[in-house]
Chains A and B, each alone.
Chain A
Amino acid sequence: MDATQLLRAWNDGDEAALNELVPLVEQELHRLARAYMGRERQGHTLQATALVNEVFLRLAEGTTPEWRNRAHFVGIAARLMRRVLVDHARSRGYLKRGGGARRVPLDDATPIAPEMELDVLAVDRALEALAKADPRKSQVVELRFFGGLSVDETADVLGISAETVKRDWRFAKLWLARELDGKTPRPPRESLS
């Protein structure tokens, strides 16, 4: 199956298709990012939303899948991105460090966690917990963070006001930050390679 068929299969409820889809999306993301930065696209810039959109437009190229509407499409894209990012984190070997049993030396100086090393797996788990407590906030986070949507775009997709999106986003991040606190500190970047 090509990417388009996979995307459609997944959309139709075939979860197995997702496993094949994820590496394709990641590959496409990297390719696009490089293309944007390469000389052939000099003067162009790259935006997260555009990036996600373009990836999906390419994958869905040449077909007119039966997306029920834009909100549906964006929702699917955000979910897929979430899965891509989680798999990406796992493949980089982050998972083995996430185990709760690892003992952290007590005299460890406060480590500085570069944003690149955001504990995506912990965010993913925390987001699941958030979905149980307050499903709308978890959707806002999924669309904003994984889907790359702006406040206004998120408001459009969910059919709520931009003000509500802002407040949901603000509260959700506080709540997630608290959830993520005390998770195993990430080792410095160089030790991961």
Chain B
Amino acid sequence: MTHRWSEVERIVHAALDRAPHERALFIARECAGDSGLAADVESLLARETAAEHLLSTPAAALIAMSDAPATFVGRQLGTYTIVELLGVGGMGEVYRARDRQLDRDVAIKILPPVFTNDADRLARFDREARILAALNHPHIGAIYGLERVDGVPALVLELVEGPTLAERLSEGALGVTEAIGIAAQIADALEIAHGQGIIHRDLKPANIKVTSAGRVKLLDFGLATAGERGEIAASAVSVSLPVTMSRPGAVLGTAAYMSPEQARGEQVDARSDLFSLGAVMYEMVTGRRPFNGETASAILRAILHDTPAAPRTTNPGIPAALDGLVMRLLAKDREARPQRAADVRDDLRQLSRELEVAAHPRHRWRRRGIAAAAIIVAALVIWTLRGRETNGPIARDYTQITHFADSATSPALSSDGRWLTFIRGQPGRFNGRGHIYVKALPDGEPIQLTFDNLGKMSPVFSPDDSTIVYTAIESEFIWDTWTVPARGGAARRWLRNASGLTWLPSGPLLFSEITVGLHMQAVAGDEQRKGMRVVYSPASELGMAHRYAVSPDGAQVLIAEMDNAVWQPCRLVPANGQTGRRVGPKGGCTSAAWSPDGKWMYFSSNSTGTPQIWRQRVPDGIPEQVTFGPTEANGIAVDPDGRSLLTSLATSHSSIWIRDERGEREISREGYAFIPTLPNGGVSQPVGPNTREVFYLVRQGAMRSSGVSERAGELWATNVQTGAHRALLPGRHAIGYDVSRDGTRIAVAALDDRGVSHVWLVRLDSAEPPRQLAEFEADEPRFDSSGNIFCRGTENGRKFIYRLREGRAPEKAIQQSVIFFATGSPRGDWLLARVQPDSGGGHFNVAFPAAGGPPVRLCDQCEVDWTPNGKYLIVRFGPQTPGRTFAVALEPGVTLPPWPANGANSGKDLSVLRNVREFAGFIYPSEDLSTHVFARRNMQSNIYRVPLR
């Protein structure tokens, strides 16, 4: 045992014996100037809650319990039959049980037999029962009884189906209306509890369930009221979830919603729960927690000292009244907060009514004056237009059907056209995770039908409209067909290795089946896979037939297919199985449909750069465009009356933000502002060596709809101090750029009219006009510290890294071909690229020694770069949210530290390196890491009805 070890141990114990808010100061004093020691101590203290759960169930009990499902399932307990195990943990086993008398399902929580003479756990069990019994409220999970099974105590609880709010928030912010509805219900439940003298003390999204009907249920209520400090999370066994344990998220999750008085270890009261409600509301509307930090103590410090940015700075669509209420709830001084849960609930209901009236002015006319409504509508229109300023308004004769803040895609209609099903989930992803919804047209509430985490695609109604059938994607190679009752119920796997399923009018099923590797073909047959025949098999081994539209007479099928992961034009094949031919516009076709009379084919195609709806008369008409403008249109459901179709229209917004000593703020100019990322843009560096200017690309107006390239934008710079913007290469379609290490020049890859990329050199002092370096076709330009420019060029159809020098022919920097060139080290000793190994298999990123020699495997998916001064190696994982960024401090003379042998695919793999700092998000730090820049992207898609003429 080393002296250092004993020292860490001593300080940790001493800190644990102090109140949480005293610890930071104590550690600072004890570690006097030894930042390594302080970090060591802090990182251990951050695990306090995790450690409480860790190893709390003895190993023997774990083994003995591991066949527990067999022990209680099927047993009778009074009027209950135990059906299945829902979750297991040290604090209890939770089962689903059938109440035969009342004909309903309940949850039964049973203390594991190994603990039944543990007095402490028994007491906690009883306490939970008593507190729940005192609380009878529609928004609080109810208790039905306390029973005994063979002498073992069992709580009979209300079974709450649906995801927790934490699960919902993991997918991003909620819409304002929904957030208000949920918050009002929580406030309602709190009012009842507070009236009974019960303080929740652990209000957080993981303890809030939202049922498919939008009803909120608070769980784990009052478990903390009589508990000791630190026991809060330990006792948090929810009715539906297993015990959480030993994950850092659990620690942060609990700390993040804690009131300042709780953080200080003081007495809590009802107003402490209201603070937590404010924190939950903040996260619901912004998708971000109000107080953040890398350790629990950092979060507690933030709670005590920091004021979060108002929610409207993140989401300008939040009404001012809601913004104000959230900020008042988050007041440090509890006297400054709303004092009673009922007041909060009433404010929220009022707000909800105002929003509803604004959204449906005709109701308002009946109730109140027209003038007031006009003002609200005007305000809403202004907000709506502002929110979409980069995209332009949606055509006036389209009717909006869904109103989500995130994404609704893949519309399909029931046979009578009165019900809509769609996927709500990750925007911009063709098979991303999402949930199947159903909605009665025109004004029914959207109802969530699925609650799992699987990727989803192509929902359709069964021929009798009773069921919704969809594709669920568990992994790259597992594409199964699932069903869920259209009126709600359990989702079930129906057919394995079957996707894009639909029906032929004569009865058989038509679906995709994976044959070998990625190859996916269209087959028809019945559900036992009898009488199967191949309808269409792509010729390419990377071909994937994904989605089908069968003509009304059943004779022909339109197929949306991919080759090598790129959407191809749609294909029309005879249903009796021949190769058929391509139809519709050129460009990738992601879905197709028929008019009810079979005379028109409809396509969603990106042939103009942006996905739009097209149609073509059967059999050989000229394709004509139906929807226009910068909004993307995906998915088609033609109304059975043939007079309109439903499609999902996407609007997106992206902006550039900086976080420095003045806080976090948006700096980009109007338009869709972005920083190119791999694979298309290489590693573009938005921050020069002196963080005076930030560089980014902007798409707007003509640039956005020109169709030259979806990845291009105009290069702009914003002065961080003054906020002034300037265009550096006006009118050019830039796709990537790099600032020279001395900050005087910027190299830009820009497309010409034919979409061919060339490298341009721009002087940042504007002393000379921008100039094109060579006729040579090249992109992904990167400077080294000597001012050399490396770039990616093409030879015989293969890509190589070249060195460009004025007045000389480009020369190959390394002999091996690459897929993408990422960047070069400041010293010029390493070149980073994405390659496909000769042995085949997946792509990955490597670092080539510029002097020659075997490359180092960096990662499967990451961006690696250096700060311009070469002092830090920056590793980014993402760029999807949340993304993580790591800065590795480099020893003098080192460019690439010893790297994990199999590459680094998460922060965990980097933990073998020393001096690593972690940042939340996909960020671009300055040279000294004090400041960083990031892009914030929102994509919204909703379903619209488009009239057909």
Residues of A within 8 A of B (CB): 26, 29-30, 32-34, 36-37, 39, 42-49, 51-52, 55, 81-82, 84-85, 88, 92, 100-104, 106-107, 109-116, 118, 120, 123, 133-134, 141, 144-146, 148, 167, 170-171, 173-178, 180-185, 189
Contacts and interface: CB of A to CB of B under 8 A. Distances in A.
A133 B907 CA distance: 24
Given A46-B113, A47-B117, A84-B63, A171 B150 contact: no
Contacts of B907: 182
Given A37-B71, A106-B877, A116-B89, A48 B47 contact: no
- Of listed A51, A85, A112, A133, residue having the most chain B CB within 10 A: A112
- Of listed B43, B150, B905, residue having the most chain A CB within 10 A: B150
Given A148-B60, A177-B47, A178-B47, A123 B55 contact: yes
Interface string B53-92: 1111111111111110001000000000000000111100
Nearest 6 CB-CB pairs, A to B? A114-B242, A109-B170, A33-B64, A48-B58, A177-B47, A182-B908
B891 interface: no
Contacts of B71: 34, 37
B515 interface: no
B246 A113 contact: yes
A42 B113 CA distance: 11
A148 B61 contact: yes
Nearest to B64: A33
Interface in B148-194: 150-152, 166-167, 170-171
B11 to A, nearest CB: 11
Contacts of B58: 48-49, 52, 144-146, 148
Interface stretch (B210-218, B589-597, B607-615, B879-887): B879-887
A171 B113 contact: no
A108 B690 CA distance: 35
8 contacts: A106-B880, A106-B906, A114-B242, A115-B53, A115-B89, A115-B245, A118-B246, A174-B48
Given A88-B66, A112-B242, A181-B47, A103 B61 contact: no
Contact of B60 (A81, A123, A134): A81
Contacts of B66: 30, 88, 92, 116
Contacts of A52: 58, 60
B51 interface: yes
Contact of A88 (B63, B87, B88, B902): B63
Interface in B878-912: 878, 880-884, 900, 902-903, 905-909, 911
Contacts, number: 197
Contacts of A43: 150-151
A101 B55 contact: no
Interface in B619-668: none
B244 interface: yes
Contact of B13 (A26, A133, A167): A167
- Of listed B63, B66, B884, B906, residue having the most chain A CB within 10 A: B63
Given A175-B44, A177-B51, A183-B908, A145 B59 contact: yes
A171 B62 contact: no
B596 to A, nearest CB: 39
Nearest to B238: A112
Interface string B7-51: 001001100100000000000000000000000000111111011
B87 to A, nearest CB: 6
Contacts of B59: 81-82, 84-85, 120, 145-146, 148
B63 A30 contact: yes
A37 to B, nearest CB: 5
A33 B12 CA distance: 38
Given A51-B64, A81-B59, A115-B245, A46 B116 contact: yes
A149 to B, nearest CB: 9
B114 interface: yes
Nearest to B877: A106
A26 B67 CA distance: 11
A185 B244 CA distance: 12
A174 B16 CA distance: 11
Nearest to A55: B60
B230 to A, nearest CB: 11
Given A92-B66, A110-B253, 10 more contacts: A43-B150, A48-B61, A84-B59, A85-B63, A88-B66, A103-B906, A110-B166, A148-B59, A177-B51, A178-B46
Contacts of A32: 64
Contacts of B44: 171, 174-175, 178
A18 to B, nearest CB: 16
A48 B51 contact: no
A138 B242 CA distance: 28
A171 B878 contact: no
Contacts of B67: 30, 33-34
Given A36-B113, A174-B47, A106 B908 contact: no
B245 A106 contact: no
Nearest to A105: B880
A107 B114 contact: no
A32 B2 CA distance: 43
A116 B247 contact: no
A41 to B, nearest CB: 9
A113 B244 contact: yes
Nearest to A107: B880
A177 B905 CA distance: 21
Contact of A174 (B12, B87, B113): B12
Nearest to B163: A109
Contacts of B2: 133
B12 A171 contact: yes
Interface string B903-931: 10111110100000000000000000000
Given A51-B60, A107-B880, A177 B50 contact: yes
B248 interface: yes
A7 B52 CA distance: 34
B12 A115 contact: no
Contacts of B851: none
A37 B246 contact: no
B489 interface: no
B909 A51 contact: no
B1 A113 contact: no
B196 interface: no
Contacts of B243: 114-115
A118 B243 CA distance: 11
Contacts of A29: 60, 63-64
B113 A180 contact: no
Contacts of B5: 133-134
